[in-house]
Amino acid sequence: MIKGLVRNIVKDLRIEFRSKVVISLILSFSVIVTISIGFASGGIIGSPMVHAILLWVIIFFSGMNTSHLFYREIEEHTALFNLMYYSPESIFVSKLIVNCIIMVAVAAIVGLLYLFVMDVSVYNVSGFAIMMLAGSSALAVCTTIIAAITALVQARGGLFTILSFPITLPIITVVIKSTTQCFSKEIYSSWSAILFLLAFSTLLGVVSYILFPYIWREF
């Protein structure tokens, strides 16, 4: 299991490093959206709430290209090849980890760019950093199985958003609330939010882990 996990992660990262499909799609999407929001608003919007919402909406929609991680295996007929050597569970967990890495990277880049373009001041820097990290990895964990489903029906993008929105809404609501507080002068503790994200993503992660072998077959 561990062997399969490590080899799959190395393989996925190496392929991603060579083809750059997912990361370029996600980055160009998120950067373009962030900058166009900056252009459109001219830096006028002021409310911390609005900033938090915009920031997380950008990150959420950037995530829809992560289904390419699974789609690539199907399109290139490597899914069965992979299954010949490793269990579906280790494939799932490795994709989940790669997905997390990508989403955290995206959150970091989009977050910094957003702060820069929109001139937002962060009062609680550590809280904000933790929220970006926890929120984006929770999003990644909960949407990995959706990414697999959309990859299997080869209707990515739109379907991914439709399917993942109702499920990730708790995450989005909670992180928007906490991020708003980081942008304003209120003193707050992010522990309850983090605990919630942890509980929710663990639950969905475990259920996805159990269900994944049922869909990742018959290629």
Partner 1 sequence: MFTIKAHNISKRYSYRLFSNISCSVSTGESVAIVGPNGSGKSTLLKILGNIVSPDSGRIEYFENKEPIPAHTVIHYAGIVAPYIQCYNHLTLTENIIFAFGSVTDDAIELLHRLDMYQHKDKVLHTYSTGMQQRCKIAMALLKKPKVLLLDEPGSNLDDSGRKILFELIKEIQPFTAIIMATNDSREAKLCHRSIVLDKGIGA
Partner 2 sequence: MVLIIIDALLMLASLYLIYIWVPPAAILGETSRIVYLHVPLAWVSTLAFIVAGLASIQYIRKNAIEYIHCARSSVHIGFFFSILTVITGSLWAKVMWGSYWNWDPRETSITLLLLIYIAYFSLHQIVHTNPKGAMLESVYLVIAFVASPFLIFVVPRLYPSLHPEPVINTQGAILLDTEMRLVLIISVVTFTLFYATVLKLLLKVYKLEYVCTEDVS
Binding site for partner 1 (CB under 8 A): 3, 7-8, 10-11, 14-15, 18-19, 76-78, 80-81, 83-85, 87, 213, 217-219
Give the closest residue to 142 by CA, choosing from 130, 152, 132, 134.
Answer: 134
Taking CB under 8 A as the criterion, the residue among 50, 152, 184, 209 binding partner 2 is 152
**Contact partner at residue 11 from partner 2, partner 1, none, CB < 5 to 8 Å by partner kind:** partner 1
Q: E strands, 102-156, where?
A: none
3-state helix, strand and coil shares in percent for the chain, rounded to the nearest 5: 85, 0, 15
Smallest gap from Cβ 188 to partner 2, in A, equals 14
CA-based nearest residue to 60, from 117, 2, 138:
138
207 binds partner 2 (CB under 8 A): yes
Q: Out of partner 2, partner 1, none, which partner does residue 76 contact, by CB within 5 to 8 A per kind?
A: partner 1
Using CB distances below 5 to 8 A depending on partner kind, what does residue 15 bind out of partner 2, partner 1, none?
A: partner 1
Find which of partner 1, partner 2, none residue 146 binds, CB within 5 to 8 Å per kind.
partner 2
* Interface map 160-179 toward partner 2 (x if CB under 8 A): --xx-xxx-xx--xx--x--
Tell me which of 33, 52, 59, 149 binds partner 2, using CB under 8 A.
149
The Cα 166–Cα 144 span in angstroms is: 14
Distances, alpha carbon 173 to alpha carbons 60, 78, 79, 139, 214, in Å: 12, 37, 35, 12, 31
Q: List the end-to-end C-alpha distance of the chain, in Å, as a whole number.
A: 22
* 184 DSSP 8-state letter: S
Instruction: Name the token pair of 27.
Output: 């980055």
Q: How far is the CB of 105 from partner 1 (least distance, A)?
A: 20
Q: In angstroms, rounded to a whole number, what is the distance separating the alpha carbons of residues 52 and 49?
A: 5
Instruction: Give contact residues for partner 2 (rule: CB under 8 A).
Output: 142, 145-146, 149, 152-153, 155, 159, 162-163, 165-167, 169-170, 173-174, 177, 196, 200, 203-204, 207-208, 211, 214-215, 218
